[in-house]
Amino acid sequence: MYEELKYWYLRDHKLFRTLSFSQIKQLCIITGFKKASKGEIIYFSSSDVPRIFLLKKGNIKIVALDSNGNETIKDIIQKGDLFGELTLETDNKNEEYAKVLSDDVAICSFLMSDFEDLLLRNPTLALSYTKFVGLKMKRIKNNYANLISKDAKTRLYQFLKDWAEQEGVREENSVAIENYLTQNDIAQIICTSRQTATQLLNEMETNQLLNYNRKEIIIRDITKL
Amino acid sequence: MYEELKYWYLRDHKLFRTLSFSQIKQLCIITGFKKASKGEIIYFSSSDVPRIFLLKKGNIKIVALDSNGNETIKDIIQKGDLFGELTLETDNKNEEYAKVLSDDVAICSFLMSDFEDLLLRNPTLALSYTKFVGLKMKRIKNNYANLISKDAKTRLYQFLKDWAEQEGVREENSVAIENYLTQNDIAQIICTSRQTATQLLNEMETNQLLNYNRKEIIIRDITKL
DNA sequence: GGCTAAGTGTAAATTAGCCGACATTTTGCT
DNA sequence: AGCAAAATGTCGGCTAATTTACACTTAGCC
């Protein structure tokens, strides 16, 4: 790939806007770029050198295996999001991997050590990054707070609202979301059983709150959720 | 208070070890120091200038009020912890405050803007701080994961283990913890009802797993939890 | 010392939602 | 087209834990 293209892939993330071409290039920050398609699994395992990833296109889910071998969805990563060890701490024993949800994805990655060097030389970037991580923390906290204190229905409503806000195409009060999740995925995200999720979604459909199918979700009136 | 004392209060936090006396002083980073006693409420509200706090002594809980006016415990802060808007983002509409749990506490605070300046001039500190926030995030994530996937009993056991590890005084396999929490506090932390918490604690007592009273908790054999 | 409020103990009724056990539908593959 | 696998739909039993309700105990205060 042309260096310039690599550059732009990073450059259009708001974190990196303050950096010049030479800074990115000079620091050899782009060391990887890959494409993957639906269902593929991407390991960022401990065996490899620690990396930070940037999702340029598509959607993936971060999945962890618990001691019983059950999949748990840790996070849904969307276009423009950074993922991997954002804490800059190498974690030895985590059984996490990423699974591609959308038809195809494009992922940039760079070495954590390179990134650390860059942060050390660019205080402004370091500050931005700190705020970025902080923001992510806040989002996670809020999500979890919802999971714990609200019932399954409220959680589903909240999730749909968030999803609509992030990715939905609004027209008047109705919002269309490209649905790359299965009902099982949704259930896992809102921490409930698949059956309950199905039931709630169908209930919403009969109540004219939304139209659901495997390709698309249309929320009739987002203000009523 | 003598400048030197203020200096030491900050200096002995591991984050600030790399800074020189003049750096801390010069940047006027210490702008507040206060003591408070049990039950007192400390607001870090939106009206005031945004600050970051450092707990030098004692224990506090961070409490949020939900829409129904219910208290929810967001976090327990222990000696040496930073708290407040660690994300460096001013949050306009959060109804959080801190409540003193131990007999008395000592709190340092400094302006967020000053801290940001310091981070800009000290990339190493910025990096440490990012890792620090990241670590906190990881801890929170783990906690929440427990809250969601485990039952009340397991959550209580895990909480006690964590608490013991952080603050307990170990003697052979038994651990003594100074108990500054009510059963209601514990219940809120592990997200269950007060009654359930009471029941579980009593059950543990009859099973000889621990001795509980309002001043102290003694875990008979930490390896058996 | 006595009163009040906070904290603790206990029990029964109720319930959300998990789980198992299917049937049905859709999708992807050769 | 035809098959297998994945995804969705539906049901009732089951259980952990919340809720309600009230008695008892301890701590703090005048």
Three-state DSSP state, A16: helix
* Contact call for residues B31 and B110 (beta carbons, < 8 A): yes
Give, in words, the CATH class of B3-138. Answer: mainly beta
Q: Is B130 on the interface with A (CB under 8 A)?
A: yes
| Separation of alpha carbons A6 and A3, rounded Å | 5
3 state SS for B155-171: HHHHHHHHHHHHHCEEE
Nucleotides of D under 7 A from a protein CB: 6-12, 16-21, 26-27
Q: Is B120 on the interface with A (CB under 8 A)?
A: yes
Q: Which residues of chain B make contact with A140, given a CB cutoff of 8 A?
A: 137, 140-141, 144
Q: How far is the CA of A214 from the C1' of D13 (A)?
A: 31
Burial grade of A87 (CB within 10 A; 0-12, 13-18, 19 or more): buried
**Pairing of β B210-212 and β A32-37:** unpaired
The percent of residues above 70 in pLDDT, for chain B, comes to 84
Fold classification of A148-224 is: Arc Repressor Mutant, subunit A (1.10.10)
| Separation of alpha carbons A130 and A145, rounded Å | 22
Burial grade of A53 (CB within 10 A; 0-12, 13-18, 19 or more): buried
pLDDT value, residue B189: 93
For chain A, the domains span: 3-136, 148-224
Instruction: State whether the beta carbon of B20 lies below 7 angstroms from any atom of strand D.
Output: no
pLDDT in tens, chain A (225 residues): 455 555 666 666 777 777 777 666 655 555 667 888 888 888 876 556 788 888 888 899 988 877 666 778 888 898 888 888 777 776 655 678 888 998 888 888 888 888 888 888 888 888 888 888 888 888 888 888 888 889 999 999 999 999 999 999 999 999 999 999 999 999 999 999 999 999 999 999 999 999 999 999 999 999 988
pLDDT value, residue A135: 85
* Contact call for residues A99 and A37 (beta carbons, < 8 A): no
**CATH value of A3-136 in 3.40.50.970, 2.60.120.10, 3.40.50.450, 3.90.1150.10:** 2.60.120.10
Is the four-CA dihedral B10, B12, B13, B16 of positive or negative sign? positive
* Contact call for residues A158 and B116 (beta carbons, < 8 A): no
* Contact call for residues B31 and B109 (beta carbons, < 8 A): yes
Given pLDDT bands bounded at 50, 70 and 90, which one contains residue B169? very high
Give, in words, the CATH class of B150-224. Answer: mainly alpha
pLDDT value, residue B92: 57
- With b meaning 16 or more CB within 10 Å and e meaning fewer, what string describes A94-103? eebbbbbbbe
